[in-house]
A and B are shown apart, each in its own frame.
Chain A
Amino acid sequence: MPWHRKHLLTIEELKRSEIEQILATAGAFRRILDRKVKKVPALRGKTIVNLFLEPSTRTRISFEMAAKLLSADVISFDAAASSTTKGETLRDTAQNIQALHADMIVLRHAASGSPLYLSKVLGIPVVNAGDGAHEHPTQALLDVFTMREKLGDLKGRKVVILGDILFSRVARSNIHALTKLGADVTIVGPSTLVPHWFESLGVRVSHNLREALADADVVMLLRIQHERQGVSHFPSIGEYTSMFGLNYTRASWVKPGAIIMHPGPINRGVEIDSDIADSDRSVILQQVTNGIAVRMAVLYLCAGGQPEAVTVPVT
């Protein structure tokens, strides 16, 4: 089936078959990462601009790496030194980048919906690298890619997402991806960060960690995002950790073979103890590696590539 989308804005708008197409393409690119020479010419001659208007390290580097491995030229935009600090609007900044003959924009923005807005303003593809508390589609794709790598088909698998759900774009994108792939999703955390509204997205809401972790195949932890919280949503970090932090004892509540995930950056000793983060159950670093392959797939497809055209021999 051919790939038709020009932009990747949300997981919510993707059909299951489109998610499968991206994951299959990412699978092929993932094999490239194990070769001695990791570069392919798929996007040679294309220029991709990383328009990161909100601080990011791993996502920006991951997109840069992905673009470079596809032989694209990459320009990363430093928000602090940009015209946006002089009051230039997002529309003008992006239109200027387009006028400079960029072929694609990867946007990270603090305001939800910004990639959709930009996609209506520009003629070139826009890839969402995280918009406010809305979505972070490539993170969800790399998460489900990693889950499938470890667990196989996700249908009926129990995935627990634990932590700051309210302010998390990762949680939203993962909820959409996982429910489309047939997983059974429970979100858990303090009631102020895990409001009941989320049930409308097809997940179970729980505030009881022990109950939620029982029989979990995947425990995905989320960072407590102090920077997004206007008021205190819980009494203290200490209280949060004592109630919801994943420590050795709590990790024993999940079933054997379950994996522990985290989109990073992790707050060691807050949402996760070091011995769990570094344990053999943890797939946190595999997530990072898989992120390159998934982003290669997304950049490749949005630039007009087709899934079936990616054939990478194992070398």
Chain B
Amino acid sequence: MPFLHIKNGRVIDPASKRDAKGDVFIADGKFVKSPTPAQKKSAQVIDAKGLVVCPGLVDIHVHFREPGQTHKETILTGSQAAAAGGFTTVVCMPNTSPVVDNAGTVTLIKAAAAAAPVHVYPTGCITVGMKGQALAPHGSLQKAGVVALTDDGLCVQSNELMHRAVEYAKMFGLSILDHCQDESMTEKAVMNEGVVSTRLGLKGWPHAAEDIIVARNIILSRYTGAHIHMQHISSAHSVELMRQAKKNGVNVTAEATPHHIAFTEEALGTYDTHFKMNPPLRTEADRKAIIAGLRDGTLDCIGTDHAPHAPEEKDREFDYAPNGIIGLETALPVCLDILVKKSKFQLSHVIDLMTRKAADILKLPAGTLAPGATADVCIFDPAETWLYNTYGAFSKSINSPWDKQNLTGRVKTTIVSGKVVYQNGKMLV
């Protein structure tokens, strides 16, 4: 593995409060402070002039569909999409087929992940079969290597079971990730309940159904001390609940997705299934509240909820199409546009949300350029405008609302454990 010298770039590492032009050195897969003369002489130089050099991005919410639905995505193709988007660490949801409620499936995923160009961490289920009826073997799952527990899109409906789940998982040091949805309020719902659903005649998913579960989880976290992470917050009221909880020192965290900060329910006006997701896109007030939550730290990180679906599954009547969009290859430019350009966030703040803060939620060894840390790097041009075309992109699926859109901010190089895995549009491993 060659010694790497990244020079001339704007180095942003919020974890070590670094934001200045400078050098980054990598030896044997780790960051080093300064090279020896011999290392410097033999170094492979990456010129990052005009570019930003930051820790590899971290996404704690992706779906890679393996095992079971590899026509949508595999761990390899999903990881390649991640690398192309500047991500070096991703956490996979367990709603595969079979679901990850046993150690054997974890082993299978880890074996596939070993060949992936980025670090892939599995999660396990909270309940057996994600059915919300009996606890999955959290201890065995942890031993097999999961980094958190979640029933993903199937929020545990029983308060008692959720209570016991967070209590039990805490014993193994595992966080619970929760998709907050009271299903009794959202049966057959396909979009946000409100003015637009009324006009379109589509069944509405009221934000109260999210708020109730967020409130429930805050109460359970406070009661047990367990860490609960709220996935893809979509409502202003949920943001407010989180703000109060954090003020009270409750052990909860939350994420926002690029699509919930970029779009509102108005995008569904033509029944385009590429805007159908769960939780649904909501109002402008909700969108602004999510951005405000990211600004003041109420929401901790960005998670893409990268959810690949085959074209024929999305190409149908709105009611019958599955929820979800892909997002790994577009997350950085979208966040640069919405947060930096339009909402005047500091660039280092956005990088923090996509690196250190995301990693810290699950205590993952990632998110910094500090000497001694694993050398995961994202080098991007914040000013380059490019045409995103899902055909020819790395994800196996094409269900993106940004397809054929011009995006600004492009990943040039991705380095994982000191190895260049992606550069200038090409996957190198």
Q: Give B291-334 interface residues, CB cut-off 8 Å to A.
A: 312, 315-320
Task: Determine how close the nearest CB of chain B comes to the CB of A295; give it in whole angstroms.
Answer: 21
B199 with A117: CB separation less than 8 A: no
Q: Give B179-229 interface residues, CB cut-off 8 Å to A.
A: 184, 187-188, 193-195, 197-203
A135 with B317: CB separation less than 8 A: no
Q: Is A109 an interface residue (CB 8 A)?
A: yes
A111 with B198: CB separation less than 8 A: no
Picked from B184, B195, B318, the residue with its CB within 8 Å of the CB of A113 is: B318
Q: Is B391 an interface residue (CB 8 A)?
A: no
B199 with A169: CB separation less than 8 A: no
B199 with A111: CB separation less than 8 A: no
Q: Which residues of A contact B195 (CB under 8 A)?
A: 197, 200
Picked from A91, A111, A195, A231, the residue with its CB within 8 Å of the CB of B319 is: A111
As a 0/1 sequence over residues 123 to 153 of chain B, the CB contacts with chain A under 8 angstroms (1 = contact) are: 0000000000000000000000000000000
B198 with A112: CB separation less than 8 A: no
Q: Which residues of B contact A117 (CB under 8 A)?
A: 271, 316-318
B316 with A133: CB separation less than 8 A: no
CA distance A201 to B320 in the complex (A): 26
Name, among B188, B197, B319, the residue most crowded by chain A CB atoms within 10 Å (CB to CB). Answer: B319
Name, among B193, B198, B270, the residue most crowded by chain A CB atoms within 10 Å (CB to CB). Answer: B198
Given contacts A12-B199, A116-B270, A197-B198, are A111 and B187 in contact (CB under 8 A)?
no
CA distance A91 to B193 in the complex (A): 28
Picked from B312, B315, B317, the residue with its CB within 8 Å of the CB of A111 is: B317
As a 0/1 sequence over residues 12 to 38 of chain A, the CB contacts with chain B under 8 angstroms (1 = contact) are: 100000000000000000000000000
Closest to A133 in B: B201
Q: Which residues of A contact B318 (CB under 8 A)?
A: 111-113, 117
A200 with B199: CB separation less than 8 A: yes
Picked from A89, A135, A230, the residue with its CB within 8 Å of the CB of B201 is: A135
Task: Determine how close the nearest CB of chain A comes to the CB of B198; give it in whole angstroms.
Answer: 4
Task: Determine how close the nearest CB of chain A comes to the CB of B206; give it in whole angstroms.
Answer: 10
Interface size bucket, A side?
Answer: 20 to 34
Name, among A112, A198, A200, the residue most crowded by chain B CB atoms within 10 Å (CB to CB). Answer: A112
Picked from B188, B203, B270, B317, the residue with its CB within 8 Å of the CB of A114 is: B317
Interface size bucket, B side?
Answer: 20 to 34
Q: Give A98-122 interface residues, CB cut-off 8 Å to B.
A: 109-114, 116-117
Given contacts A169-B201, A201-B198, are A132 and B319 in contact (CB under 8 A)?
yes
Q: Give B17-48 interface residues, CB cut-off 8 Å to A.
A: none
B315 with A131: CB separation less than 8 A: no
Closest to B201 in A: A134
B201 with A132: CB separation less than 8 A: yes
Given contacts A197-B194, A230-B187, A230-B188, are A112 and B319 in contact (CB under 8 A)?
yes
CA distance A132 to B201 in the complex (A): 7
Picked from A89, A110, A172, the residue with its CB within 8 Å of the CB of B199 is: A172
Q: Give A130-156 interface residues, CB cut-off 8 Å to B.
A: 131-135
Closest to B273 in A: A117
Given contacts A112-B200, A195-B198, are A89 and B188 in contact (CB under 8 A)?
no
CA distance A145 to B247 in the complex (A): 61
Q: Which residues of B contact A230 (CB under 8 A)?
A: 187-188, 203
Q: Which residues of B contact A197 (CB under 8 A)?
A: 193-195, 197-198
Q: Is A90 an interface residue (CB 8 A)?
A: yes
Closest to B202 in A: A112
B199 with A132: CB separation less than 8 A: no
Given contacts A113-B271, A230-B187, are A90 and B198 in contact (CB under 8 A)?
no
A90 with B317: CB separation less than 8 A: yes
Closest to A199 in B: B195
CA distance A91 to B201 in the complex (A): 21
Given contacts A90-B316, A230-B187, A230-B188, are A134 and B270 in contact (CB under 8 A)?
no
Picked from B187, B203, B271, B319, the residue with its CB within 8 Å of the CB of A116 is: B271
B201 with A231: CB separation less than 8 A: no
A134 with B200: CB separation less than 8 A: yes
Task: Determine how close the nearest CB of chain A comes to the CB of B182; give it in whole angstroms.
Answer: 12
CA distance A70 to B200 in the complex (A): 32
Task: Determine how close the nearest CB of chain B comes to the CB of A92; give it in whole angstroms.
Answer: 10
Q: Which residues of A contact B184 (CB under 8 A)?
A: 231
Closest to A135 in B: B201
Q: Which residues of B contact A109 (CB under 8 A)?
A: 317
Q: Which residues of A contact B315 (CB under 8 A)?
A: 89, 91
Picked from B198, B312, B316, the residue with its CB within 8 Å of the CB of A200 is: B198
Top 8 A-B pairs ranked by shortest CB distance?
A134-B201, A113-B271, A133-B201, A111-B317, A197-B198, A111-B319, A112-B201, A200-B195
Chain A residues engaging chain B, CB cutoff 8 angstroms: 12, 89-91, 109-114, 116-117, 131-135, 166, 169, 172, 195, 197-198, 200-201, 230-231
Write 19 A-B pairs (CB below 8 A) sorted by A numbering: A12-B199, A89-B316, A91-B315, A91-B316, A109-B317, A112-B271, A112-B319, A113-B200, A113-B202, A116-B270, A132-B202, A134-B200, A172-B199, A197-B193, A197-B195, A197-B197, A198-B198, A200-B198, A231-B184
Can you add 18 more A-B contacts, CB < 8 Å, to A166-B198, A230-B188? A111-B318, A112-B200, A112-B202, A112-B271, A113-B271, A113-B317, A116-B271, A117-B318, A132-B319, A133-B201, A133-B203, A134-B200, A172-B199, A197-B193, A197-B194, A200-B199, A230-B187, A230-B203
